[in-house]
């Protein structure tokens, strides 16, 4: 009897150790953002033990950013990704940025931190689609930007489904959203 209780406890412990939140994009040398443009944050929503979080951007250089800047107060985890408008994050071109997912009730508790990344100048190319990971519970991006934008927009408006984004299609997505918004 003791053996099965111990085994169940160890299994539960292992399961909770695997449950973690990770920011997949942006981050690292191959996944940057473009200044004054729409960008995307992608995370591992299926392995996250958190229902929601605040999204902030930070920079290790205090001349760029003195403290983390929260730009989404409360993001639902199940979305798996979020398009960030050029008005939400207006940071200067620089490197050593990180995205932080923070407890909405306790800003001292950071759930996840991205790898450092760069914000490149307006007009720079987005990272290739092949370099862009997707959240584990996201739908696959379609091969055309217009279809991807349509799918993203309809699933976001309805609240149904999981949204995935790839930087390869992001330029087309931004153009398609610009047409929809105009």
Q: Does residue 43 contact residue 101 with C-beta atoms inside 8 Å?
A: yes
Domain that holds residue 50: 19-181
Q: How large is the average pLDDT for residues 112-128?
A: 97
Q: Is the pLDDT of residue 57 over 60?
A: yes
Is there a domain that residue 46 lies in? yes
pTM, 2 dp: 0.67
Question: Among 43-52, 53-62, 149-158, which is the least confidently predicted range?
Answer: 149-158
Is there a domain that residue 160 lies in? yes
Is there a domain that residue 116 lies in? yes
Is there a domain that residue 2 lies in? no
Q: In this predicted model, what pLDDT tens digit does every residue of 106-116 receive, in sequence order?
A: 999 999 999 99
Is there a domain that residue 10 lies in? no
Which tokens go with 175? 């153009």
Q: Is the pLDDT of residue 125 over 70?
A: yes
Alpha-carbon span 137 to 142, nearest angstrom: 15
Q: Which of 37, 114, 102, 46 has its CA nearest to residue 75?
A: 102
Is there a domain that residue 42 lies in? yes
pLDDT band at 136 (very low <50, low <70, confident <90, very high): low
Q: How large is the average pLDDT for residues 19-44?
A: 95
Q: Is the pLDDT of residue 137 over 50?
A: no
The structure tokens 């085994």 sit at 7
The 3-state secondary structure of the chain reads CHHHHHHHHHHHHHHHHHCCCCEEECCCCCCCEECCCCEEEEECCCCCCCCEEEEEEEECCCCCCCCCEEEEEEEEHHHCEEEECCCCCCCCCEEEEEEEEEECCEEEEEEEECCCEEEECCCCCCCCHHHCCCCCCCCCCCCCHHHHHHHHHHHHHHCCCCCCCCHHHHHHHHHHHHHHHC
Alpha-carbon span 180 to 53, nearest angstrom: 29
Q: Does residue 41 contact residue 117 with C-beta atoms inside 8 Å?
A: no
Which is higher by pLDDT, 90 or 6? 90
Question: Among 8-22, 54-68, 83-97, which is the least confidently predicted range?
Answer: 8-22
Is there a domain that residue 14 lies in? no
Is there a domain that residue 3 lies in? no
Looking at the 3D structure of the chain, how many domains does it have? 1
The CATH number of the domain where 81 resides is what? Answer: 2.60.40.2840
pLDDT band at 145 (very low <50, low <70, confident <90, very high): very low
């Amino acid at each position: 009897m003791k053996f099965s209780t111990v085994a169940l406890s160890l299994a539960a412990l292992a399961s909770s150790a695997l449950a973690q939140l990770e920011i997949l994009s942006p981050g690292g040398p191959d996944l940057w953002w473009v200044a004054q443009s729409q960008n995307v944050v992608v995370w591992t929503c299926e392995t996250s033990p958190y229902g929601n979080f605040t999204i902030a951007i930070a920079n290790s250089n205090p001349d760029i950013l003195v403290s983390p800047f929260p730009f989404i107060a409360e993001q639902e985890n199940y979305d798996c990704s979020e398009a960030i408008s050029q008005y939400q994050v207006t940071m200067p071109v620089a490197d050593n940025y990180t995205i932080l997912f923070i407890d909405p009730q306790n800003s001292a508790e950071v759930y996840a931190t991205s790898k450092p990344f760069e914000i490149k100048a307006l007009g720079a190319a987005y990272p290739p689609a092949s370099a862009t990971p997707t959240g584990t519970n996201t739908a696959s991006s379609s091969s055309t930007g217009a279809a991807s934008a349509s799918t993203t927009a309809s699933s976001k408006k309805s609240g149904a489904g999981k949204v995935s984004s790839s930087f390869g299609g992001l330029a087309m997505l931004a153009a398609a959203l610009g047409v929809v918004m105009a």
